Amino acid sequence: MITLWYRAPEILLGVKRYSQSVDIWSLGCIFAELALSRPLFKGDSEIGQLYKIFQIKGTPNETTWPGVTKLTDFKVTFPKWKGKVLSNIITTLSPLGIELLSKMLCYPPHMRITAEEALEHVSCKAILWF
């Protein structure tokens, strides 16, 4: 299982079947950590990890993540946090870097950027030598 700080929210919410999108979430967390010089979501337990994610991204709902309320471990009693602007938290990334990170940390797993799309993203093309 993935290190807690990099674990995708769908896994924390009890999804049993998942795809490569969990790896993209983890990669986004590592990308953010490199930019911040500290973990973006530094939880000390599974619920603490979810709350750290919610405090930055906002508590998900059916509008921001269709189907989230049907996940096994989703609770309607979760605190309702409003999302923050990533560029206000991670000031070392360019707007294109923030755009890529936002696509990696997208709540609905099926809407997250794929590895292939990430490599084609203009912010990656600028730093890749091959």
CA distance 22 to 26: 6
DSSP 63: T
- For 11-46, what is each residue's pLDDT tens digit? 999 999 889 999 999 999 999 999 999 999 999 999
Confidence at residue 124, expressed as pLDDT on a 0 to 100 scale: 67
> How far out from the chain centre does Cα 107 lie?
6
Asked if the structure places residue 87 within a domain, the reply is yes
Question: What's the whole-model pTM score?
Answer: 0.92
pLDDT, residue 121, reads 84
Distance of CA 71 to CAs 10, 40, 75, Å?
8, 24, 9
The domain total for the chain is 1
For residue 82, is it within any domain? yes
> One-letter amino acid identity for 107?
Y
Angle at which helices 95-104 and 21-36 pack, to 10 degrees? 140
Structural domain including 60 reads: 4-125
pLDDT digits (tens, 9 = 90+) for 51-73: 999 999 999 999 999 999 999 99
Structural contact between residues 60 and 107, judged by C-beta atoms closer than 8 angstroms:
yes
Main-chain phi, psi angles of 74, to 5 degrees:
-80, 135
Average the pLDDT over each of 2-6, 12-16, 87-91, 99-103 and give the range with the smallest value. 2-6
Quick: pLDDT tens for 98-107: 999 999 999 9
130: in domain: no
pLDDT at res. 34: 95
Sign of the torsion angle spanned by Cα atoms 53, 97, 123, 129: negative
Question: Tokens 């799309």 label which residue?
Answer: 117
CATH number for position 91: 1.10.510.10
